[in-house]
Amino acid sequence: MTEKSVRWGILGTGGIARAFASDLPLVSGAEPAAVGSRTGAAAATFAERHGFARSHGSWAELAADPEVDVIYVATPHAFHYDAAMTCLAGGKAVLCEKPMTLDRASSARLVEEARSRGLFLMEAMWMRCNPAVRRIADLVADGAIGDVTSVQADFGLQGPFEATHRLRDPALGGGALLDLGVYPLNLAHLILGSPSAVRSWARLTPEGVDDNTGILLGYESGAVAALTCSLVGETRNAASITGTLGRIDLPRGFFVPRSFLLHRVGAEPEEISFPFEGSGYRYEAAEVQRCLAEGLVESPLMPHATTLELMRLMDDIRAQIGVVYR
């Protein structure tokens, strides 16, 4: 890796890979180096469309490319583990799309592999790299709204989805929890940390994945988090963080906010906005490059411990609601 550029590879050619590739030119020092897919034609088409220098017809070929420094894994959930492990085995730093894998055990194996090789690994929870979300975390830590008493967040998509859709396929990690619920859970964890109690309920599809899920988290401080995720109706897709001295409201699209509203007791509401380019993926790419430049093997914005805590939490929720990926 040169001082001037970080050479990016993308593993996968789906929608999220396209969105990430479109944001990459907004990141200073990011070089679109190579694309890998199980289909050589798909990789070649993607590379030409998004300005990548090379394409590969297998994951292993991408992982072995000596002109690639870091690989963004953009496959569906069920393939994250094998894809990320292939990249690590090839000596590459990895940014792996969320959730890291389907369960904590396999995520822990990836973390162990990365650490044993001295390689950077980060779960691509773009929300935690977002400038507005980072500012919110700072405000809460500085006591701007007092002691936090509750977090409320929802994320729902307008269904119905066909039985053949990946969101209903247990073999692909389908259901609302991993695709959507991971965002409310990340927000609650960012603000309140790991809960001391978890209560969940869900309606399951005929295939056995959750399509309407409610989660209540309790904390030693007395705070609570009320979270929902759904594949059967478009919710507000917004969030609120309430404290003893105020409240922070995140608007629709809370997982990729451009602004938020700060309410303080005795003061007029204050809207805090941030300049925004692209779709929001640029910020996680920039964080990866910062970490690589500093020789870090994990990001302080999304450390390994946080990934594993959230994977364990989602394992617990799945056990309560009866979802098994197969």
CA distance 114 to 41: 30
Give which of 80, 135, 133, 129 is closest to 109, Cα–Cα: 80
- Per DSSP, helices labelled H in 31-175 are 40-50, 59-64, 80-89, 104-117, 131-141
Give which of 227, 225, 262 is closest to 245, Cα–Cα: 262
Q: How far is CA 13 from each of CA 9, 52, 124, 307, rounded to the nearest angstrom?
A: 11, 12, 16, 24
CA distance 63 to 111: 17
Give which of 193, 218, 150 is closest to 309, Cα–Cα: 193
CA distance 85 to 254: 31
Task: Supply 326's token pair.
Answer: 């197969």
196 by Cβ neighbours in 10 Å (0-12 / 13-18 / 19+) ranks as exposed
**Helix (H) and strand (E) counts for the chain?**
10, 14
How many CA atoms lie less than 13 Å away from 184 in the CB half-sphere? Answer: 33
Residues with active-site annotation: 98
Task: Supply 104's token pair.
Answer: 């904590």
Phi, psi of 169, rounded to the nearest 5 degrees: -100, 110
